A and B are shown apart, each in its own frame.
Chain A
Amino acid sequence: MENKPLYSVAATFDDVNKLIKAVDKVNEAGYTIYDVHSPYPIHGMPKAMKLKPSKLGFVTLIFGLSGAIFAFLFMYWVNVIDYPLIVGGKPFYQLPAYIPVMFEVTVLSASVFTIVWMLFIMFKFPNLSHPLLDTDYMKKVSVDRYGISIQAKDELFDLVKVKEFLKELGAEEVFEIYFKVDELKDKPKIFDKKFISFLALTTVIVSGITYFILNHLLFMSPFNWMHEQFRVDPQTTTTVFKDNFGMRNPVAGTVARGHLPYPFKGNPADAEKFLVNPLIPTKQVLELGKQKYLTFCSPCHGNFGEGDSRLRGQFPNPPTLHSDKLRNMKDGGIYHIITDGQNVMPSYASQITEEERWAIVHYIRVLQRSLNPKESDLR
């Protein structure tokens, strides 16, 4: 009995009015470290216990405001700075459209943090080893009794006197409440074998599941990113057409747009003579030409057309594009080389559209003039 430290002396009452009177008396007697327990909140009890009004509202205010400000700044940053995207012709910054989300975030952060603050910071929950828990006293006050518990920590505390005092107040029963020593001693051990193996097992299971989901499940039907579709793939059969061919020939006697047969095949002279560049060298055209040149031509001809191939002898090096021959060649001639190829240089007709070919020609002219500028360019 002696080695158990005393937590408090508690008494139960069977009537609220008695309780309120008793609390007043406890206050008068000068006890300060005490608590009142009841199965439901009692009107006027905070006043009787001389408690200061709850300051929880400030927590709500702070977290609510920060929620609102955070939501606003975040949306502003997303819509105006990080990812400006015109939607419906509206401005990037549009306060009215931010209000719903701001409101929701305010409510969310205010209410969740109020509760979290109250439970975990003010009440220091979860606290399952409190001496009051699991006592007969607690079992009474959680049903139909009202209780006062005066803690041993109180300056005026004296076991015998307090017991007497509570009985005088009309207490029904008086309890001595002790700390649970074994629970106090029982500190959780992090390096406990059981705990470590539990952690290890959880890690293995969680990472296994994650690996499975990300690398396998997402590639299985129906999660497979719409890989399987009701469409006809090239080289497959179909029941839609009578001949069961998935790929179709053009209708007899027709030519698809952009696919006119090239009339100057093997005839560079005529190509140079008759073909005229339909594009004007505008900024856009030159940009397009540059992009296509760098993509398709530069590996062999070099970024500036000087014949400095990046292919390290895997393919015969082409001549420079700055030769007099090429500078004097008409646009149609270069166009022909791209379309039809020349000796070992293959045709690029299947990769580069007609328009892009003409744009490349313009770009080659730019390259040429940058090495051999005209008089007028120097001025």
Chain B
Amino acid sequence: MRTIDYSIEPPVVEQNPSLSSINESIAKPLETKPTKGWYIAISISLTMLLIGAVSLGWTFYKGVGVWGVNQPVGWGFDIVNFVFWVGIGHAGTLISAILFLLRQRWRTSIARFAEAMTIFAVMCAGIFPAIHTGRPWLDGYLFPYPNQHALWVNFTSPLLWDVFAVSTYFTVSLVFWYIGLIPDLAALRDRTTNKIKKVVYSILSLGWRHSNRHWQHYEMAYLILAGFATPLVLSVHTIVSFDFAVSIMPGWHTTIFPPYFVAGAVFSGFAMVQNVLIIIRKVFKIEHIITLDTLEKMNKVMLATGMMVGYAYGMEFFIAWYSGNPIEQFVFLNRALGPYAWSYWIMVSCNVLFTQLFWFRKIRRSIPVMFVIAVLVNVGMWFERFVIVVTSLSRDYLPSSWGMYIPTIYDFGILIGSFGLFFTLIFLFIRTLPVVSIAEVKAVLPNSQPSHGGHN
């Protein structure tokens, strides 16, 4: 039997690379011509983006009537997609902030990428509430500014909290990401021989000089940001869940929603990060930096959060029964057995059943299997939001006002478009900025820190 010494933390990167080789391998994609594979990938994602743009253009021209939403289901794919994308965004901040505070050193190799993903996912998410208002060019009214109508927003509405939560989250993630990028941009600046690139990197790195007088404040700033981003990330999905929980719809009006949403967000976010990382490390040959150990740890996080989500599914049923509220009970039976039961069972099997396979070490370490499971997790998590939004709205208190929701091709077009946007941004990102934090990875290499450690 293999014994593992748990007292020693395994190295974050493998093969003990030299400091300069880290620069080499991370800067390589930025300095070489894109491969054929990259062109194929980006043309697919741009096509998807175009489909979304056309569907959206048509929606703007005709109005949201071209979607499947109507009475009683006034929240359709738009809100489902919004919650889905915000959720995807959560993994980034979790990895970069919470794991940073918990001193999980394995996060260093994936933090940058996960943060970028957060930003792109929040951008995708932000589109949906904006277009869902029907006339997105008037969305400025969502913000409290002294406007010509002498009107203020309703500060006591969860929908307004959402505006604040998502925009704060986006800004703080962007700042966090940028702050992490500055030393790397400086490293690229010192490396590049191309004049235009040099100007761009110089401007973006603001004149960073790797000074230890700066590093000291920099680390403090990073710690502070991580400290703020941690409650922020929890608050964002909590507030998103308030959009539902503060209403009086059966199936929405529950106190379990905030933790349940946060767990689900981390769950789907990790699945997405894992999926994209598997591709990136393969394509850019940085398997020694983003190691199998790291992926295995991500799978463990998915297993844990998946079970939290499963617990929430069970608890919802229990509370429905325990509350003695017949309408609540009906809603949950309707979820599992009603006309949308298929979506409910897709959700349960993808989120709860398949992830149980991660109990096996072999599966946790098998790249193709974990890739498939993570794809399924995201399918499942998308359906979770679908189940929550649609089943509750389609059958609420009054049977006379029940109705079915049938999405139109424009709904699907916009969903495809959001994936197109996300992947387009990712493909552009991996060719323009370092996908792994050079400075952070160097700092965790063996022999990179003073050995006597007396100063700690």
Contact = CB atoms under 8 A, between A and B. Distances in A.
Interface of A: 16-17, 19-20, 35-49, 51, 54, 56-57, 60, 74-75, 78-79, 82-83, 85, 87, 90, 94, 97-98, 100-101, 103-105, 107-108, 110-112, 114-115, 118-119, 122-123, 125-128, 130, 132-133, 138-139, 141-144, 218, 221-223, 226
Contacts of B452: 17
Given A39-B439, A104-B165, A143-B187, 9 more contacts: A20-B450, A39-B438, A40-B442, A44-B453, A49-B212, A49-B213, A100-B235, A142-B186, A142-B189
B54 interface: no
Contacts of A39: 19, 183, 187, 210, 438-439, 442
A51 to B, nearest CB: 6
29 contacts: A16-B450, A17-B450, A42-B443, A43-B453, A46-B216, A49-B212, A49-B213, A54-B216, A56-B217, A56-B220, A60-B228, A78-B144, A79-B152, A79-B156, A82-B152, A85-B154, A98-B155, A100-B165, A104-B235, A105-B164, A112-B171, A118-B217, A123-B206, A123-B217, A125-B206, A133-B207, A141-B210, A142-B189, A142-B191
Interface string B13-31: 0000011100100000000
List the 9 closest pairs (A to B, CB-CB), nearest first. Answer: A44-B455, A144-B19, A97-B156, A54-B220, A40-B443, A127-B207, A36-B212, A41-B215, A125-B206
B228 A111 contact: yes
Given A94-B156, A125-B206, A111 B229 contact: yes
Contacts of B211: 35-37
Contact of A101 (B18, B161, B219, B224): B161
A363 B229 CA distance: 65
A143 B19 contact: yes
Of A17, A19, A37, A41, most buried by chain B (CB within 10 Å of CB) is A41
B207 A130 contact: yes
Contact of A143 (B176, B190, B453): B190
A185 B62 CA distance: 59
A101 B159 CA distance: 11
B331 interface: no
A69 B33 CA distance: 52
Interface in B406-456: 438-440, 442-443, 447-456
B382 interface: no
B218 A41 contact: yes
Contacts of B343: none
Given A138-B190, A222-B63, A110 B206 contact: no
B175 interface: yes
Nearest to A116: B175
For A37, A40, A105, A141, which residue has the most chain B Cβ atoms within 10 angstroms?
Answer: A40
B450 A44 contact: yes
B38 interface: no
A54 B452 CA distance: 24
Interface in B158-186: 158, 160-161, 164-165, 168, 171-172, 175-176, 179, 183, 186
B279 interface: no
B225 interface: yes
Nearest to B166: A104
Nearest to A122: B217
Contact of B448 (A40, A51, A57): A40
A45 B215 contact: yes
Contacts of B216: 41, 45-46, 51, 54
Nearest to A117: B221
Contacts of A74: 144
B137 interface: yes
A144 B218 contact: no
Contacts of A144: 18-20, 23
A119 B239 CA distance: 31
Contact of A40 (B61, B191, B229, B440): B440
Q: B18, B191, B443: which has the most chain A beta carbons within 10 Å?
A: B443
A223 B62 CA distance: 11
Interface in B276-317: none
A142 B20 CA distance: 9
A325 to B, nearest CB: 48
A78 B152 CA distance: 7
Contacts of A122: 217
Contacts of B206: 119, 123, 125-128
Contacts of A44: 450, 453-456
B160 to A, nearest CB: 7
B361 interface: no
Contacts of B339: none
Contacts of A79: 152, 155-156
A37 B214 CA distance: 9
Contacts of A83: 150-152
B155 A101 contact: yes
Nearest to A134: B190
B209 A111 contact: no
Contacts of B202: 128, 133
A56 B213 CA distance: 13
Contacts of A105: 164, 168
B217 A107 contact: no
Given A79-B155, A87-B154, A20 B207 contact: no
B227 to A, nearest CB: 9
A74 B152 CA distance: 11
A142 B454 CA distance: 25
Interface string B218-250: 111100110011011001000100100000000
Given A123-B214, A133-B207, A107 B224 contact: no
Given A39-B19, A108-B168, A112-B175, A132 B213 contact: no
Give the interface centre of A118, A132, A143, A221 by most chain B CB atoms within 10 Å: A143
B412 to A, nearest CB: 21
A47 B152 contact: no
Contacts of B161: 100-101, 104
A79 B250 CA distance: 30
